[in-house]
Structure 1
Amino acid sequence: MTERDGTRVDCHVKILDDGVAERAKARGIDVLVYAPHFMPLPEIERRADRFSDDELLVVPAREVFTGSWRDRKHVLAMGLSEPIPDFISLDGAMTELARQDATVIVPHPEFLTVGLSADDVVAHRERIDAVEVCNLKHWPRHTTRAREIARAVDAPVTASSYAHLPGSVGLAWTTFDHEIGTQDELCAALQDGVSRQACRRQGWSSRLQSVAEFAHLGWENTGKKFDRIVLSGTEATHPDRPLYEGRFDDVSVY
């Protein structure tokens, strides 16, 4: 761990391979939270374990895709004891996360069409452990708004690279004041509101990487989104998959 300034946690990345792990270490990150889209929890857990070592802890997580493609809102959950699908209602997701006593972060609130609204955050405040106030896809106005939402509900904050591109990993992070060496310790720190700082690297290279991330988002929400809409129901995290044993039929939106 990085004793000089606590434990640095990049609280949300979408990608993971040898290069990503090495880049995280080179940038002083101690913990990565790995939450790819549309990947079942058991596979995420296997990949996280594969890339964890004495220098870097990789924590498996799910960014649960609630609602339909036209009305979607993301919720980041870690410390899950059972798989949870996408394409379920927000209320259904929050109820299930509470049942599992999962750690819940609101990623990118009110960001474009994929973030929880301020009203959503208020409605589910008791089940929310932190609000993400900064990531590489944010412009300054997005960060300002996220901080306003966090303050309004008196929620602890986090920052993450939200890396969809390898060069983004470790450019935004959350520094916790004490040592974190396991998934359980990270969940406890988040749930207990342990003192932390939301941090982002400054400078032109970081700004250029932010532009690249935002441009990548445009690609995701055009052609790739069209493919997903047409193929909806084929995702490995759809509620009707055998992994979920029909437990979410009553809150499925497809």
Structure 2
Amino acid sequence: MHVKTLDERVVSRAKARNLDVLVYAPHFTRLPEIRARADRFSDDDLLVVPAREVFTGPWHDRRHLLAIGLTDPVPDFVTFRGALDEFERQGAAVLVPHPEMLNVSCSRADVAKNDDVIDAVETYNAKCLPHQNRRAREIAEETGQRGFGSSYAHLGGTVGEAWTTVEAAIDTEAALVDALRTDVSRRAVRRQGITHRLQCLAEFAHLGYENSWGKVDRLFLSGDEPTHPDNVAYGGRFDDVRVY
């Protein structure tokens, strides 16, 4: 939990690292497309679960939320509260990735204020620097949230660098959601050594591309893009909570 890239090489790498489940949540992609691709790459040895990492709020002050178990699409750039309410309505598991990382994350106060609807906080992210992961662990401990670990792989080589062990059989999307929303024991795990550190630094360096204004301007401010709240696919359902 979770990856941004999915192809044959990613699946092979996941299996080689003895992973049983991948949560696939690419940026700026609608849920039906995510679900179709997840289904394509799932088999008896690896379950790929579709999810959405929703960008809430305006671009300059966005807070990411990872929702697993959605039944209906949710756009980016809606209010933080609007996203939480919609996730709760759909019965999704709500996770906080990379808390207090740069300007793309939930704060300690956000987690504490909404602990009734948040199900877990990421305590190790392969894209984060060591001090950022230490802060994430502190936030989870101080707010009493269960933790999870993630490769957050935008690069295929990062798959399997960090993961979460869950003391439950996870053979369906519903089983994962149930495990995340209950007190099932889990822990974040990661690889060690210089190769791991170098791969994590490569992931961190990818942020420069991922967050460029040119990319945002091209993708999101026209209103015609897949996860823009004004897209015809959402039928105006999020007009009251959209920020663009």
TM-score, length-normalised on structure 2? 0.97
Q: Give secondary structure in 2 for the equivalent of 1:162.
A: coil
Q: 2:196 aligns with which of 203, 206, 216?
A: 206
Mean CA deviation greater in 151-160 or 51-60:
151-160
* Paired AA for residue 88 in structure 1: V
Runs of 4+ with deviation above 4 angstroms: none
Q: Give secondary structure in 1 for the equivalent of 2:62.
A: strand
Q: Which residue of 1 aligns with 2:131?
A: 141
Q: Structure 2: where are the runs of 5+ without partners?
A: none
Aligned-pair distance for 1:234?
Answer: 3.5
Counterpart-to-counterpart distance in 1, 2:232 and 2:124: 36
Counterpart-to-counterpart distance in 2, 1:179 and 1:202: 26
Counterpart-to-counterpart distance in 1, 2:125 and 2:149: 6
| 1:139-166 deviation line (CA, Å, top 9, x unaligned) | 1111111111111111111000000000
| 1:80-101 deviation line (CA, Å, top 9, x unaligned) | 1111000101011011111111
Q: Which residue of 1 aligns with 2:205?
A: 215
Aligned-pair distance for 1:226?
Answer: 2.1
Q: Give secondary structure in 1 for the equivalent of 2:76.
A: coil
Q: Which structure would you say has the larger RCO, counting Cα contacts within 8 Å and 6 or more residues apart?
A: 1
* Paired AA for residue 133 in structure 2: T
Q: Which residue of 1 aligns with 2:114?
A: 124
Conservation of the 8 A alpha-carbon contact between 1:106 and 1:132: yes
Q: 1:54 aligns with which of 39, 44, 59?
A: 44
Q: Which residue of 1 aligns with 2:242?
A: 252
Q: Which residue of 2 aligns with 1:226?
A: 214
* 1:1-254 alignment runs, 5 A limit: 11-222=1-212, 225-231=213-219, 232=221, 233-254=223-244
* Cα RMSD (Å): 1.0
Conservation of the 8 A alpha-carbon contact between 1:14 and 1:164: yes
Aligned-pair distance for 1:230?
Answer: 4.9
Q: Which residue of 2 aligns with 1:4?
A: none
Counterpart-to-counterpart distance in 1, 2:95 and 2:118: 6
Conservation of the 8 A alpha-carbon contact between 2:224 and 2:230: no
Q: Give secondary structure in 2 for the equivalent of 1:131.
A: strand
Q: Which residue of 2 aligns with 1:7?
A: none
Counterpart-to-counterpart distance in 2, 1:234 and 1:123: 34
Q: Give secondary structure in 2 for the equivalent of 1:13.
A: coil
Q: Number of residue pairs matched?
A: 242
* Paired AA for residue 20 in structure 2: D
Q: Give secondary structure in 1 for the equivalent of 2:116.
A: helix
* Paired AA for residue 187 in structure 1: V
| 1:50-93 deviation line (CA, Å, top 9, x unaligned) | 00001100000000011111111100001011110001010110
Counterpart-to-counterpart distance in 2, 1:187 and 1:219: 32
Q: Give secondary structure in 2 for the equivalent of 1:211.
A: helix
Q: Structure 1: where are the runs of 5+ without partners?
A: 1-10
Change in 2 beyond 3 A, CA 1:20/1:230: closer
Aligned-pair distance for 1:242?
Answer: 1.8
| 1:92-148 deviation line (CA, Å, top 9, x unaligned) | 101111111111000000011111011111111111010001111111111111111
Counterpart-to-counterpart distance in 2, 1:219 and 1:228: 10
Aligned-pair distance for 1:180?
Answer: 1.0
Counterpart-to-counterpart distance in 1, 2:210 and 2:224: 18
Q: Give secondary structure in 2 for the equivalent of 1:70.
A: helix
